[in-house]
């Protein structure tokens, strides 16, 4: 995308939209901020040279316009009904469950940097507005987001779709943190943005769009470590995200803890299976030298795993103290 001087105007409008939505009590101004956010974001990601970009921009515009129109019509409802419907509408606008259908499609059609904003900063305004409407409907959104994020990631070979489903899964965790503590989800979102930015910058630099392209990465071990972090392997940053959430979830029902643990283990398995295919070299380009190296250092790999688990337990111990 060629950047013209007008791009700075759209960046300024994009930043102003956050201020309008987060520092206003007037619902009309909040709605106006959402519209400014949508239009400025579309102009920032628009690329007329790519048909996929144009299609994704139109799809995003249609989805967000429909959501804003319905959100505006909810202002005349009573408070209880407004709470339920507004929460559902915000989940629709950020692509959380059960309204996830547009999110992976839009992410796969735009550039890597646009994907990063869709998976992080574009969720901030809807999440901040949902804080005003915490209700039982949150549990429905959380359950759908966790299930869809996990099972949508199965057999995904396209990296953008895989990361988009992972983002949906993490929205469920953020909403869970929001129920338990009003501000802890902001830290979760920030740390998640740091992790996903590292992954996207690496994939963008080497133009990796699917699992089949990973072999052309120069520093494959960096992607491997980042994927371990997203999977929640201690002592990496992704593990701290899960620990942070569980620290607050432990105060709730044990059935919820078991459910969240199961979802975490399944998501961990998905990432590990992808990394297993990658490290064992299902690609025909892998030669015998790699396998000799792998078996030679297999014990070292096991020791690294045990050491990481030990460090994770050590961090847990000091954090609990």
Domain map (residue ranges) of the chain = 1-68, 77-320
Distances in whole angstroms, Cα of residue 286 to Cα of each of 78, 208, 227, 273, 283: 63, 18, 21, 18, 6
**pLDDT tens column, 230-247:** 878 777 788 888 888 887
pLDDT attached to residue 269: 84
The per-residue DSSP string of 121-183 comes to GGGHHHHHHHGGG-STHHHHHHHHHHHHHHHHSTT--BHHHHHHHHHHHHHHHHHHHHHH-TT
pLDDT attached to residue 218: 66
Q: Decide: 135 and 87 in contact? Cβ < 8 Å.
A: yes
d(CA 42, CA 12): 14
Angle at 205 between CA 204 and CA 211, to 5 degrees: 60
Mean pLDDT on 158-173 = 91
pLDDT attached to residue 208: 78
**Residue 24: pLDDT over 70:** yes
pLDDT attached to residue 236: 79
Closest of 35, 34, 41, 32 to residue 12, by C-alpha: 41
pLDDT attached to residue 290: 42
Model's pTM, two decimal places? 0.83
Q: Of residues 295 and 109, which shows the higher confidence score?
A: 109
Residues, the chain: 321
Q: Decide: 155 and 83 in contact? Cβ < 8 Å.
A: no
pLDDT attached to residue 285: 47
**Residue 216: pLDDT over 70:** no
Q: What is the maximum span of the chain, computed from C-alpha positions, in angstroms?
A: 69
Ranking 88-92, 180-184, 188-192 by mean pLDDT, the lowest is 180-184
**pLDDT tens column, 304-320:** 444 444 444 555 445 44
On average, the pLDDT of the chain sits at 79
């Amino acid at each position: 995308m060629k950047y013209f001087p007008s791009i700075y105007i759209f960046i300024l409008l994009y930043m102003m939209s956050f201020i309008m939505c987060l520092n206003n009590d007037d619902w009309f101004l909040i709605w106006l901020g959402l519209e400014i956010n949508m239009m400025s974001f579309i102009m920032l990601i628009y690329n007329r040279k790519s048909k996929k970009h144009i299609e994704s921009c139109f799809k995003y515009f249609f989805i967000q316009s429909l959501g804003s129109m319905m959100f505006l019509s909810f202002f005349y409802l009573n408070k209880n009904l407004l709470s339920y419907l507004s929460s559902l509408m915000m989940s629709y606008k950020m692509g959380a469950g059960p309204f996830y259908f547009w999110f992976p499609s839009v992410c796969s059609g735009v550039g890597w940097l646009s994907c990063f904003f869709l998976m992080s900063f574009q969720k901030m305004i809807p999440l901040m507005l949902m804080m005003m409407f915490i209700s039982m409907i949150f549990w429905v959104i959380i359950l759908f987001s966790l299930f869809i994020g996990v099972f949508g990631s199965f057999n995904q070979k396209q990296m953008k779709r895989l990361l988009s489903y992972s983002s949906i899964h993490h929205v469920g965790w953020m909403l869970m943190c929001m129920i338990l503590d009003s501000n802890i989800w902001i830290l979760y979102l920030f740390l998640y943005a740091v992790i996903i930015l590292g992954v996207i910058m690496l994939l963008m630099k080497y133009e990796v769009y699917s699992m089949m392209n990973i072999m052309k990465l120069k520093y494959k071990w960096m992607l491997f470590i980042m994927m371990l972090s997203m999977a929640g392997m201690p002592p990496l940053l992704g593990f701290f995200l899960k620990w942070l959430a569980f620290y607050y979830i432990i105060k709730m029902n044990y059935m919820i803890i078991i459910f969240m643990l199961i979802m975490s283990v399944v998501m961990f398995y998905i990432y590990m299976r992808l990394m297993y295919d990658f490290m064992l070299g299902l690609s025909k380009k892998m030669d015998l030298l790699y396998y000799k190296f792998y078996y030679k250092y297999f014990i070292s790999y096991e020791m690294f795993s045990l050491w990481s688990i030990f460090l994770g337990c050590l961090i847990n111990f000091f954090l609990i103290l």
